[in-house]
Amino acid sequence: MWILIVILIILIILAFLSLKIVKQSEVYIIERLGKFHKVADAGLTVIIPFVDHVRSVVSLKQQTMDVPPQDVITKDNVTITIDTVVFYRILDPAKAVYEIQSLKKGIEYLSITTIRDIVGKMDLDSTFTSRDAINDKLRAILDEATDRWGCKIDRVEIQNITPPPDIRDAMEKQMNAERNKRASILQAEGERQAAILKAQGEKESAILQAEADKESKIRRATGEAEAIRKVANAKADEIKVVYGAMMKANPDDKLVQLKSLEALKDVANGEANKVFIPFDATSTLGAIGAAADMLKSKDDK
């Protein structure tokens, strides 16, 4: 009875040692007699007790590693502190276990030396403005170097770049001066735009005023010309009526000469500077002049 109980206990222990349950996103590195045997994927795995051995449990999830802050000297001899985070995944668990003693230590040391090499070729201003370029270059170098370890570098992010206190104070003063400069430029530009807009408004107003005066003068001249034309037409109509009446009355030469003199009197009283005298009227004026000379000679006698 005791023998059966002992055998049952031994079988339970053997079953416990033989059956391994691998979790999702994990693999087991199985060694047989100290030599690599297989990689056990997620699920139930059977091994031979005392012959097979689980060397390591490797996670296939994306992992993060915080690289300790490092003091780095830039190209212009400024010491800055850089804090970096590395995101990586294990693609070949066997290489990650057997090709390097400690994968995390290897990634950390590579990150430190690579950061110092990249930043050492850049000046201080470039390190602040070229973070993305530094991240991409650092990721490419680390990915190539860790490929033989069965590792894939997904991302490298620089969390913080800290300059020395004196450099930080100088940068803050420079930033304040630059901010004040931009404010002054914006203010001057605003005043310039306001002056331009004001001048343009005054110019457009003057143009519109001149156009209005021009239009007013044109309209006034047009009105005056139209009035003159109407008066002239009225006078012409009156002359036609008078002429028609005179022609119906069959006037003699003396009456025509008399009417011509009356017309000359009206013309002479006008505002025109020049007077055009009809040819027939000149003979009448000559006769009147001769009569006036005869009367004057009689008076002298």
pLDDT at 3: 80
Distance of CA 27 to the CA centre of its chain: 53
Q: pLDDT band for position 273 (50/70/90)?
A: very low
Q: What confidence score (pLDDT) does residue 285 get?
A: 47
* Same domain? 126 vs 205: no
- Residue 21: its pLDDT value, please? 86
Per the structure, the count of domains in the chain is 4
* Angle in degrees, 0-180, between the axes of helices 131-145 and 103-119, rounded to the nearest 10: 140
pLDDT tens digit string along 66-118? 988 888 888 888 888 999 999 999 999 999 999 888 899 999 999 999 999 99
**Run of H or E including 255:** helix 253-268
Asked if the structure places residue 298 within a domain, the reply is no
Domain with 211 in it: 170-246
Let me know whether 177 and 234 are in one domain. Answer: yes
User: Rounded to whole angstroms, how far apart are CA atoms 134 and 151?
Assistant: 21
| 78 and 147 share one domain | yes
**Tens-place pLDDT, residues 175-209:** 777 888 888 888 888 888 888 888 888 888 888 88
Q: Which residue would you say has higher pLDDT here, 249 or 6?
A: 6
Per-residue pLDDT, 272: 46
Q: Report which of residues 282 and 24 the model is more confident about.
A: 24
Q: Does 153 score more than 90 pLDDT?
A: yes
Q: Give the residue carrying structure tokens 């990150």.
A: 111
- 162 within 8 A of 81, measured Cβ to Cβ: yes
Tell whether 255 and 268 lie within a shared domain.
yes
Q: Of the candidates 196, 216, 246, which is a domain's last residue?
A: 246
Instruction: Please check whether residue 14 lies inside any domain of the structure.
Output: yes
**215 falls in which pLDDT band (50, 70, 90)?**
confident
In a domain, 219, yes or no: yes
Does 269 score more than 60 pLDDT?
Answer: no
Same domain, 84 and 121: yes
Q: What is the pLDDT of residues 229-268, one digit of tens each?
A: 777 777 766 666 666 666 666 655 655 565 655 655 555 5
Report if pTM > 0.85.
no
Are 26 and 110 found together in one domain?
A: no
Q: Are residues 214 and 180 in the same domain?
A: yes
Quick one: pLDDT at residue 292? 46
Pair (79, 50) in one structural domain = no
Same domain, residue pair 213 and 278 = no
Domain membership of residue 294 (yes or no) is: no
54/72 Cα distance (integer angstroms): 42
Judge if 181 and 214 occupy the same domain. yes
- Residues 73 and 289: their CA atoms lie apart, in Å, by 124
300 within domain boundaries: no
Distance CA 2, CA 11 (A): 14
42 with 73, same domain: the answer is no
